[in-house]
Amino acid sequence: MSAASAKPSHETLRGTVTAAFGRHYEVSLGDTPSASARRLRCVPRGKKSVYACGDEVEVAATGSEQGVILTLHPRANLLWRSDAFREKLIASNLSRIAIVVATEPGFSDLLISRCIVAAEHQQIGTLIVLNKADLDHKLAHARELLAPFAALGYPVAEVSALDGAEALLPLVAGERSIFVGQSGMGKSTLTNALIPEAQAATREISEALNSGKHTTTFARLYPVAGGGWLIDSPGLQAFGFAHLSQEELAWSFIEFREHLGRCRFRDCRHETDPGCALHAAIETGAIDPRRFEHFCLIRDEIRQSDKQARGW
Ligand SMILES: Nc1nc2c(ncn2[C@@H]2O[C@H](COP(=O)(O)OP(=O)(O)O)[C@@H](O)[C@H]2O)c(=O)[nH]1
Ligand SMILES: [Mg+2]
Ligand SMILES: [Zn+2]
């Protein structure tokens, strides 16, 4: 074989998916995304290929700013949203889910438990960010809602995006994080405070899409000074664990783990079954009743969506 024919006709380039717009993807070239990296607007080669922010891919350039995604490197993990009928990829290869809540407007602690289930299930670290700490008349109430999570060892960082978010920088540097949480919590404001390029990028995209709005409608990945990257995402309500078994769900509540397998009946549903070890742990205070309530609510949701998916 001649040297010339051994060389692939299309040089493949490694890159990371930094945004998805329908069937188009922005890919930042290089081993890791950086502010100065060349970016290509890419289409997937396969009709059914779908990619998520954070995906590591091989692309072929088809122009100075355009390319085709050829292959996907194996994902370390994947976060998706789902209901009974649809799934949409959100992000992959994460080291940390940063759940952003705020003193105002109020937030749902159930949503925090949901995010933690997604994180624990995918073996991704959790960070809780309490934003808008400047609105201090609401601070005590927010801290109270977060206390059960802090007691489990989940770190809680109090910040104010308006006063600068420097306190968060060491927590996101070197990590591959995603900001999740209800809309209005300040995820985009925090992203802009942490990443100087973010503001410009948001403006560019809302102009390109001609939306004229700066609300986040899709996930977007930004390189972080000091290494790693951060994804700003739109408000998330439903994570993809529609098909999690009850056992997997219970395991995702880390404080349940030591009690699992200790119920009188092996197939205990942890409902009104006699000799339930989880109920006993609630009695002794080892399990917070709010967290058990979250477990029941998420379990019921999963049951409901399983039924819907099967057409019941
Ligand atoms: N007082 C106060 N307002 C904030 C803070 N962070 C964000 N906001 C405001 O909260 C609103 C929602 O912020 P945004 O970043 O769009 O939230 P997102 O939907 O989570 O991305 C905006 O009006 C921000 O100016 C903060 O730390 N303190
Ligand atoms: Mg936003
Ligand atoms: Zn039980």
- What distance in angstroms lies between residue 186's CA and the mean position of ligand 1's atoms? 4
Q: Which ligand is nearest to the CA of 220?
A: 2
Q: What is the rounded CA–CA span in Å between residue 185 and residue 132?
A: 8
Q: What per-residue confidence (pLDDT) applies to 183? A: 87
d(CA 80, CA 91): 7
CB burial of residue 4 (10 Å; 0-12, 13-18, 19+) = exposed
Å from CA of 275 to ligand 3 middle: 7
**Torsion angle (degrees, nearest 10) of CA 137, 142, 145, 150:** -130
Check residue 238 and give its pLDDT: 66
Q: What is the mean pLDDT of the chain?
A: 88
One-letter identity of residue 265: F
Mean pLDDT for 180-195 is 92
User: Which of 99, 159, 189, 233 for mutating ligand 1's site (highest number of atoms within 8 Å of CB)?
Assistant: 189
- 103 or 11, which is more confident? 103
Helix (H) or strand (E) run with residue 170 in it: helix 169-172
- Does residue 188's CB lie within 6 angstroms of at least one atom of ligand 1? yes
Res. 200: pLDDT tops 90:
no
Which pLDDT does position 166 carry in this prediction?
87
Calculate mean pLDDT across residues 71-85. Answer: 84
**Contact criterion met (CB below 8 Å) for 91 and 98:** no
Amino acid identity of residue 31, one-letter, is D
Residue 229 has pLDDT above 80, yes or no: yes
For the stretch 39-77, pLDDT in tens is 999 999 988 889 999 999 999 999 999 999 999 999 999
Distance (Å) from CA 284 to ligand 3 centroid: 15
Q: Taking 60 as the threshold, does the pLDDT of residue 164 lie above it?
A: yes
pLDDT at 17 over 70: yes
Res 175: pLDDT: 97
Cβ–ligand 1 contact at 183 (below 6 Å): yes
Whole-prediction pTM value? 0.90
Query: Do the Cβ atoms of 35 and 197 come closer than 8 Å?
Result: yes
SS3 312: coil
Q: What is the pLDDT of residues 128-144, one digit of tens each?
A: 999 999 999 999 999 99
- Which pLDDT score is estimated for 237? 62
